[in-house]
Each structure stands twice: as C-alpha cells, then as structure tokens.
Amino acid sequence: MIAWEGSICGALNRLLQNVPDGDWICEFCVARKAGKNVELPWIPEGKKMRRTAREKLLSGELWAARIESLWREPNGVYWIKCRWYVIPEETTAGRQSHNLRRELYRTNHLSNIEMESVIRHCYVMNPREFGGAINDGDDVFYCEYEYDVRWHSFKRIADVIDADNNEEDGNDEVWKSSDDSGGDSEGDSDFDEEEIDALFSFQDIPIPELAANSRKGRIFGLHKIGVKKIPKHVRLHKPSNMESAKSMLLPTTLPKSLPCRTKEMEEISSFIEGAMCGEQCLGRCLYIHGVPGTGKTMTVLAVLRNLRVEVDAGRMQPYCFVEVNGLKLASPENIYRVIYEALSGHRVGWKKALNLLNERFSKGSNVGKEDNRPCILLVDELDLLLTRNQSVLYNILDWPTKPNSKLIVIGIANTMDLPEKLLPRISSRMGIQRLCFGPYNYQQLQEIISSRLKGIDVFEEQAIEFASRKVAAMSGDARRALEICRRAAEVADFRVEQLSQLSKTTSLTKACPKEKHFVSIDDIEAAIREIFQAPHIQIMKTSSRMSKIMLAAMVHELYRSGLGEVTFEKLATTINSLCSSNREAPPGRDTLLKVGFKLGECRIILLEEGLKHRFLKMQLNFPSEDVTFALKDCPEIPWLSKYL
C-alpha cells in the first residue's frame, strides 16, 4: 500500500524512483497533517515540477479550444479557426460553489491562430457524456453553458439556437490528431526543462478591467494562450520583401491610412458630428452610392475609427456602432434580428426583434446596456433589402424620424437613383443628403498601391503605373488593381525561384553578386493575360452575335441602374432599344429566351429558377469588366463599345 496525497506535496515525484516493498507512507504528508512546518526537497535551478496539461489548463496557463476549420496558407503554414473555452475564474462571475473542478465554459469568440499553437487533443463533453467518461483519461472536461464575452451572460448550450438553421448544438466536436508529441510519456524525466511561452494578444475583445478570482495579481481574460516551444526556424522566420508585398496587396488587408478619399471622409465625419451635436442626437440618414471597388465601406469604417479616438479622448459622447451587410442576410427581414442582437446580446426571432426595436426607437424603451447612447447603423448593400411592399426599408428609414430614436443610418449601395425607385413614403424619409463615390483614375490607383507598398521596394514605378492605367481604363476598381499587382508579385516570385534552382543545378559555380529582383511590366502583363484570358472570357469572345448583344445590354443596364439583377422583360426592352438605335434587326422574345438559357448553361449568367419567363431574374456571374474586356474590341459588332 502506498499512502500519498499529491495535492499536498510533490514528494512522490522527488523520492520514489521504484515501487517500494511493503507499505509506504509519505512522511511529508503526515508531518503537514500534524501541523508541523515541512521543508520540501529543493528543485534544481533551471528545472520545474512537471505538471499535467490538465493542471496547467485549470490554473489558467493553457487554453482549450474547439477547432472549427483548418487550412494551409501558400507559404506552407497551417492555420486553424477555433472557438475558445474559459475556466470559471476567467468570467466576471468567478468560480461558484456549483462549478465542477473540470468545468469549462464555451465562449462565442473565434480566432485564427497557427497550427503550431496546438499541444494535443482533449475531450470537452456535455453532461450526459461526462457522466460515462470514467475511464477516458485525464484530458476530459465538462461543459454545459456558453459564456458571452461581450455581455458577460450565460446560456445553456442545449438552448442556444443557431442563427442560420435553428439547430441545437449540445455536443462539442473535437479534432482528432495522430501526433501526441505534447503529451507526457512514461519515459519523461522527473523535471522538465524551462520552455519558452509564446503569447497571442487579442485586443478586439471587451475584457473587464479586473476579472473575478484573479490569482497572484494576474488579470485573467481572453488575451493570451500558452503554447509549446515553437521550433527555432519558425520562430526566427522573417518574411521577405516579396512576401510582405503580397500580404499588403490583399484587398482584405486594412491599410493604416486611406488615400484619395479625404473629401469624402470629411463630409461623412461632419455629417455624424452634426447629428451628435452636444448632448443631443438628431436622427438622420445618409445615402452613399458609387460603382463597386471605390472604397465606400472602407471610408466609412475609417471615419468611425477616427471618431472612436475622439470618444476615448472625451471630446465626443460615446455611441454604439452596428454594421450589417445585406449579402450576409438570408432574407431582408433578418436585419431586425441582427440589429437587436448587436444592441442587446440576445437572440430572438425577427418578428419579436421588430417589435422590440420599434419600442426602442419609437418610445425610447431600454433593450440593452447601451440604450441611452446614440446608435450608428451602417447598412451595406442597402438595395438588397428591397421587398415587394418595401416594408423593411421603410422601418429602418422611419426610425431616425422618431423624436427619441437617437439613430443615425448610413446606407451604402451601388445604385445611384435608388431613392427615386422607392415608394414616395420611403424616399422622403431617406432625405436629400447623398454622397457619390466616383471611380478612381489612374493617379489615384497608383497612389493607393504605392501607399500599401510603402517601405517595400519590390515594384518598378512603371509597373505600378501600367497596372493603374489598365484598370482605370476599364472600371476604376481598386480591388481589381490590387489583385493584378498581387498576381504579378506571385509571378515574379516564381520566376526568381526558378532562376535560383537553375543556378544551383548548373555547373557554373562562379560567385556573382545577388541582383535585386523587381516586379516589372512584363510580370504585370502576364498577370493581366492570366486574369482576362480565363475560360469564361474565351466563351464570351466566341459566343453568337445575339449573345454578345445580350451581355452588352446587361452591362449597360447594370451601369444605368446599379442593380445586379434585371428581369427578362426589362432586358428585352433594353436590347430592342440598342438594336433600333444601331440599325440592327430587333430579335423576338423567344429568340432572346433561348439565348439567355444558352448563356445560363455556360454559367456566364445566372437565371432564377421558375416558369415565369417574363419576370425571370437574370444576373451576370462574372464582373462587368470581364465582359467589357471580352467585347470592347469586337470586330463583328463595333457599336457595342459605346455601351460598355
């Protein structure tokens, strides 16, 4: 028999190297129970007591996470998207008497981290599974509730309703790994060498200034993760200039400053500051329109980022900000649920959310912790909220007109004359304040690309100017210009890699100085050919005469109305008008319908499923500049270039 209490001392790891004969009782445990002062054996310098991963997790030194997805970057590094778990001490309520020792809370916070941060596999089970997991090992934990890191509220996981498919999620899926290199084995020594801990900082999470049950003066929150020792070649890897350039040219990368939109930023800033004058907040609406890729949404977000600095400095009253994108809504009515959840932190159906929001903005009743603050609502892709009776747009634009709403609505769409297409009761509430974002010219595109590549000398100036002129001549879309430059950087990087491999395999061993490689005009041309010589562009070039006229009419209608979708009846009217103006025999409705179905089979356009051919909705499946590039120099129909 061996009598030892590991929770009192660690003597078993220090003294026993083999199983003793007969009975053995730990003398340190006996002395401590008797109330004597016990001095434990000293730990060698540079060593530390070995603890299991479970003990480190429950003491806040490691983190548990549920892996949602895994992918590999072009540079070969694996990344994961994970949902974090927290221990009760890291919540605002702290550890309560009903909390189990192995209990965790699942949070609603997701992060992207490198796969190198994963130590090993653990099991997080629901109450039923945890009750039967007696012999499932040490890395087994219990989870019954979800913790909201913003509103500091708890909700049973079985009651959490998914916003998309309304399915219950009461079971945690775990990631299975065959590599258990981070675990403890029987051959491990009694003491582990000191390891380097890497910390990941998450600044976008609202963490309380002092969490409950903080231990040893440390503040706990979702702001760090303990990891195993990262290999030296990974830890000391410094990205090259070409890799940094490709990273900065991603359209999703937010630049430090937004060039070429100073005037628009000043107008948006003055609009918001004018609505929030003094301690009052006047409900207002601002409509922003312009062709795609002109920086409408990014400009508004940059203005709000600057205003947040004013709020932190105390020069402006606090406000709450809600951003909604129409493309991410399953139906226009779901915008009520998204707005209410952002204000209150609770998930309800859209009908109940509409009633509560009406009380909030019409009567000034409280629905959340930030109700007394003004609210700035940014609705991107506003035209996608159109319904048959236009009730969704009416409610959103009617709320700012109420005396106690304190609501500022900023709508963004590509359609210039959207207010004129709405019902009079809606267009009157939208107001007269509009802001137009025109397409970028080549000087502005050149400045945008150069600002992102500031301090990274890998592009020739002529190459940037050439790409800017090409894009400005077609659409003025900044995203397309960044895409071309990034692809050119990849082409140049591949060319340099091929040259380096060729130099290693050749018999020439003369030492020659390394040349500094730049992205040249040839690389830009190769990227443009690759982008604009895709299979769908070749199909457009070789399509029939009437197919080309239909595609040109769809682009013309897109530029005229700003709406991506067009009905067959309206498109047929536009085609007849174009043909009559250019002495072309107008086709019949049956012919146009066959041409439309043919383009739909090739996936050049998207057709709505249904039998109502007259009101059949049609939409381009590719950017309009691809159609312009394919048909602008068509020798068969030269007059098409006037409408592209």
CA distance 296 to 510: 54
CA distance 14 to 514: 57
H-type alpha helices, 88-185: 127-131
Q: Are residues 29 and 74 in the same domain?
A: no
Check if the beta carbon of residue 100 is closer than 8 Å to that of residue 58: no
Is 562 among the domain residues? yes
The SS3 assignment for 139 reads coil
Check if the beta carbon of residue 79 is closer than 8 Å to that of residue 71: yes
Check if the beta carbon of residue 619 is closer than 8 Å to that of residue 551: no
Predicted confidence at residue 513, as pLDDT, reads 45
| Nearest of 33, 115, 109, 122 to residue 75 by alpha carbon | 115
Predicted confidence at residue 443, as pLDDT, reads 92
529: how many CB neighbours lie within 10 A of its CB? Answer: 9
Q: Are residues 10 and 142 in the same domain?
A: no
Check if the beta carbon of residue 361 is closer than 8 Å to that of residue 407: yes
Q: Are residues 339 and 295 in the same domain?
A: yes
Is 518 among the domain residues? no
Q: Are residues 160 and 223 in the same domain?
A: yes
Is 476 among the domain residues? no
Q: Are residues 155 and 196 in the same domain?
A: yes
| Predicted TM-score of the model (pTM) | 0.60
Q: Are residues 125 and 17 in the same domain?
A: no
Check if the beta carbon of residue 298 is closer than 8 Å to that of residue 258: yes
Q: Are residues 12 and 96 in the same domain?
A: no
The SS3 assignment for 521 reads helix
CA distance 127 to 165: 24
Q: Are residues 61 and 155 in the same domain?
A: yes
The SS3 assignment for 490 reads helix
CATH code, domain carrying 610: 1.10.10.10
Q: Are residues 201 and 326 in the same domain?
A: no
CATH code, domain carrying 83: 2.30.30
Is 240 among the domain residues? no
| Nearest of 412, 375, 397 to residue 287 by alpha carbon | 412
Q: Are residues 125 and 6 in the same domain?
A: no
Is 292 among the domain residues? yes
Q: Are residues 366 and 387 in the same domain?
A: yes
Is 311 among the domain residues? yes
The SS3 assignment for 316 reads coil
DSSP category for residue 28: H
What are the 10-residue block averages of pLDDT along the chain, 644 residues in total? 48 56 72 74 64 77 86 79 88 84 89 83 86 77 87 76 41 35 34 32 36 37 38 56 85 79 92 81 86 88 89 86 87 90 85 90 65 85 84 90 88 83 80 85 91 88 91 85 90 85 64 62 88 82 90 86 80 90 87 89 83 77 84 85 81
Check if the beta carbon of residue 565 is closer than 8 Å to that of residue 619: yes
- Domain with 20 in it: 2-42
Is 294 among the domain residues? yes
Is 446 among the domain residues? no
**Helix-helix angle 478-505:241-248, to 10 degrees:** 160
Helix (H) or strand (E) holding 124: strand 123-125
| Structural domain count, the chain | 4
> Do the strands 2-3 and 24-25 form a parallel or antiparallel pair, or are they unpaired?
parallel
